[in-house]
Chains A and B, each alone.
Chain A
Amino acid sequence: MTSRDNGIGIVKAARARFEAPFALASGGTLPGFELVYETYGKLNAAKNNAILICHALSGHHHVAGHYADNPKNVGWWDNMIGPGRPIDTDRFFVVGVNNLGGCHGSTGPSSINPATGKPWGADFPVVTVTDWVSAQALLADRLGIAQWAATVGGSLGGMQAMQWTMQFPERVRHALVIAAAPNLTAENIAFNEVARQAILTDAEYKAGRRPVTGLRLARMLGHITYLSDDQMAEKFGRKRRPGSGSYGFGVEFEVESYLNYQGDKFAEWFDADTYLRMTKALDYFDPAAETGGNLQAALARAKARFLVVSFSTDWRFSPQRSREIVDALVHNGQDVAYAEIKSVHGHDSFLMQDAHYHAIMRAYLDGVLP
């Protein structure tokens, strides 16, 4: 059991290049692109055991396991994916991919624009969830996967998992849509806009340099919305830093220290132009827009069965938003199971190790193999 307890172990990233011009929802075109991805487990002879993991705002292709040269770099959903884990790599062939516009190796703002020979930067086109799904489909073709056993994702990743069922109905048997929503609320778009303004108004960004201050602020704001009030009360309460001053503006409360740390850490490595694009992709996602605002009509195209999961303290993507997806599917007579997990971790709950949440995922996935 030791190897199982340690997860999948050493993994390697791979790269796929697509030479053909790639038309984007924005009307723009990319002159070819690259996707960096990882795979775990084995594609079976019938090629019907493949699961696509779609990542959220700051995620990437490194979903499980660790790298040989960096054992501390563990995949972001390692507690969910591996031998004997809910997404069981002994049974499934699991694919993680960094989305177009990302900053982890796939073509994005930090890639070289062939037209100029310089990094794209702010000139990189805005990409959408539909663009990502189209790009993921090209990767599926390359890997010989005609149909996913399941598309899986949380948050913005859940939106992609759902988009797959509408954009390529024949290519998805199951969609696991976790902590997601059929579109963003005005409040949600508002949070994203403040985060973008933090970056866009940073003098460094305007000067074409790395907007560390803006990225920090964007992440600090975002981070607040991923947690719950209860969890913050429990984790920090009104606790102060030992020896911190008072009646000033230094870091005094524990929660301030935590947020500053999160902001600093994020600003060190995340690309500002990617952040801008990821939040825009969230804002634009609205599959019902094509059907006059009717989500039922939009989802009617889907042939997949659905598992929808929400978390009780998630106020950024509340359970009620998940219910909208569920209710539209039930209206259409489509297959859907829905679980609302009790959790204190807010929106971030989808990344946490929770026995009941994982049991639900495992139970559903047990029925996914033909």
Chain B
Amino acid sequence: MTEAELANVIQGRPDFDVIAGWVQPGERVLDLGCGDGSMLRGLIDTRGVLGWGVELDDAKVLAAIRNGVNVIQGDLEGGLADFEDGAFHHVILSLTLQAMRHTETIINEMLRVGREAVVSFPNFGYWQHRQAILNGHMPVSESLPHQWYNTPNVRFFTIADFDDFCAERGILVRERKVFDNGREITEEHNFLGSIGVYRLGRPR
């Protein structure tokens, strides 16, 4: 991957740097909803991981094959039954959780087939989103770019909601990073952060 191409990946994926920092060379990585495979391509080229992706959409599967990525066409809503327990070091779900119906199933499945799950999502509690609601409109922003009538998102939740979700289910939050337009946020995460990136595991 050229530097320009990598820059494109990073621009399209604000969580790329964080995720790249969490994976190690030689690790097995599964990217769920891998799209055109550019994040995987980036992780393979810059971090030397062994990568596979899952994608449902025909056009994206084709694009991922063009990118030379190990893409497997399949539907995440059905879970990850085809993969074995602990088959991967990291299972990534980047900016996709909010577009899935079976939230709990997919998180459980990620922690079954992977030793760690990496999840990123747009924070509905971001101050600009709250402001939009106060002004009487559904939020539209860089992290929630769609209109209410054409959004693929079906679950709207905040960083605080997701923290509660993990705590209630005994899911260990090993690390959490929060960003606002690419800038890391160090306080008032649920108010100032537009995207949360989590490294999850099961307590040993």
Is A8 positioned at the interface, with any CB of B under 8 Å from its CB?
A: no
Residue numbers in A under 8 Å from B82 (CB-CB): 323, 326-327
Cα A330 to Cα B66 in complex, Å, equals: 19
Q: Which residues of B approach A to under 8 Å, CB–CB?
A: 28, 50, 52, 58, 61-62, 64-66, 68-74, 82-84, 87
Residue on A with the closest CB to B30?
A: A330
Residue on A with the closest CB to B52?
A: A330
Q: Are A360 and B50 in contact (CB under 8 A)?
A: no
Q: Are B65 and A364 in contact (CB under 8 A)?
A: yes
Q: Are A363 and B69 in contact (CB under 8 A)?
A: no
Q: Are A363 and B50 in contact (CB under 8 A)?
A: no
Q: Are A331 and B87 in contact (CB under 8 A)?
A: yes
Q: Are A337 and B62 in contact (CB under 8 A)?
A: no
Chain A proximity of B58: nearest CB distance (Å)? 6
Question: How many residues does chain A have at the interface if contact means C-beta atoms less than 8 Å apart?
Answer: 21
Is A5 positioned at the interface, with any CB of B under 8 Å from its CB?
A: no
Given known A-B contacts A326-B72, A330-B52, A330-B83, A339 and B65 have beta carbons under 8 A apart: yes
B-facing residues in A289-314 (Cβ within 8 Å): 307
Q: Are B84 and A337 in contact (CB under 8 A)?
A: no
Residue numbers in A under 8 Å from B50 (CB-CB): 333
Is A359 positioned at the interface, with any CB of B under 8 Å from its CB?
A: yes
Chain B proximity of A320: nearest CB distance (Å)? 9
Identify which of B50, B64, B72, B83 gathers the most chain A CB atoms within 10 Å of its CB: B72
Residue numbers in B under 8 Å from A337 (CB-CB): 64-65, 69-72
Q: Which of A331, A339, A360, A367 contacts B68 (CB 8 A)?
A: A367
Quick one: CB contact mask for A319-336 with B, threshold 8 Å, 1 for yes? 000010011001101011
Q: Which of A331, A359, A360 contacts B84 (CB 8 A)?
A: A331
Residue numbers in A under 8 Å from B83 (CB-CB): 327, 330
Cα A340 to Cα B61 in complex, Å, equals: 10
Q: Are A330 and B87 in contact (CB under 8 A)?
A: yes
Q: Are A356 and B62 in contact (CB under 8 A)?
A: yes
Residue numbers in A under 8 Å from B84 (CB-CB): 327, 331
Q: Are A339 and B73 in contact (CB under 8 A)?
A: yes
Quick one: CB contact mask for A6-46 with B, threshold 8 Å, 1 for yes? 00000000000000000000000000000000000000000
Is A90 positioned at the interface, with any CB of B under 8 Å from its CB?
A: no
Is A342 positioned at the interface, with any CB of B under 8 Å from its CB?
A: yes
Residue numbers in B under 8 Å from A253 (CB-CB): none
Q: Are B73 and A338 in contact (CB under 8 A)?
A: yes
Q: Are B70 and A339 in contact (CB under 8 A)?
A: no
Chain B proximity of A343: nearest CB distance (Å)? 12
Residue on B with the closest CB to A336?
A: B70
Cα A202 to Cα B82 in complex, Å, equals: 44
Residue on A with the closest CB to B71?
A: A337
Q: Which of A330, A335, A360, A367 contacts B62 (CB 8 A)?
A: A360
Given known A-B contacts A327-B83, A330-B52, A333-B28, A338 and B62 have beta carbons under 8 A apart: no
Cα A149 to Cα B61 in complex, Å, equals: 22
Residue numbers in B under 8 Å from A323 (CB-CB): 74, 82
Cα A326 to Cα B66 in complex, Å, equals: 19
Cα A335 to Cα B82 in complex, Å, equals: 16
Cα A329 to Cα B68 in complex, Å, equals: 16
Chain B proximity of A258: nearest CB distance (Å)? 30
B-facing residues in A145-178 (Cβ within 8 Å): none
Q: Are A363 and B52 in contact (CB under 8 A)?
A: no
Identify which of A307, A337, A342, A359 gathers the most chain B CB atoms within 10 Å of its CB: A337
Q: Are A366 and B66 in contact (CB under 8 A)?
A: yes
Residue numbers in A under 8 Å from B66 (CB-CB): 363, 366
Residue numbers in B under 8 Å from A339 (CB-CB): 61-62, 65, 73
Cα A326 to Cα B62 in complex, Å, equals: 17
B-facing residues in A100-130 (Cβ within 8 Å): none
Residue numbers in B under 8 Å from A331 (CB-CB): 84, 87
Cα A337 to Cα B73 in complex, Å, equals: 8
Chain A proximity of B126: nearest CB distance (Å)? 36
Chain A proximity of B17: nearest CB distance (Å)? 26
Chain A proximity of B195: nearest CB distance (Å)? 29
Identify which of A330, A331, A364 gathers the most chain B CB atoms within 10 Å of its CB: A330
Residue numbers in B under 8 Å from A327 (CB-CB): 82-84
Residue numbers in B under 8 Å from A360 (CB-CB): 61-62, 65
Q: Which of B28, B62, B70, B72 contacts A363 (CB 8 A)?
A: B62
Cα A330 to Cα B30 in complex, Å, equals: 10
Cα A364 to Cα B28 in complex, Å, equals: 22
Cα A342 to Cα B66 in complex, Å, equals: 19
Residue numbers in A under 8 Å from B65 (CB-CB): 307, 337, 339, 360, 363-364
Cα A340 to Cα B71 in complex, Å, equals: 11
Residue numbers in A under 8 Å from B28 (CB-CB): 333
Residue on A with the closest CB to B37?
A: A337
Closest 8 CB pairs of A and B: A363-B65, A338-B72, A363-B66, A340-B73, A367-B68, A327-B82, A339-B73, A337-B65
Chain B proximity of A366: nearest CB distance (Å)? 7
Cα A119 to Cα B77 in complex, Å, equals: 58
Quick one: CB contact mask for A247-279 with B, threshold 8 Å, 1 for yes? 000000000000000000000000000000000
Given known A-B contacts A337-B64, A363-B65, A364-B65, A330 and B72 have beta carbons under 8 A apart: yes
Chain A proximity of B63: nearest CB distance (Å)? 8
Cα A359 to Cα B70 in complex, Å, equals: 16
Q: Are B72 and A359 in contact (CB under 8 A)?
A: no
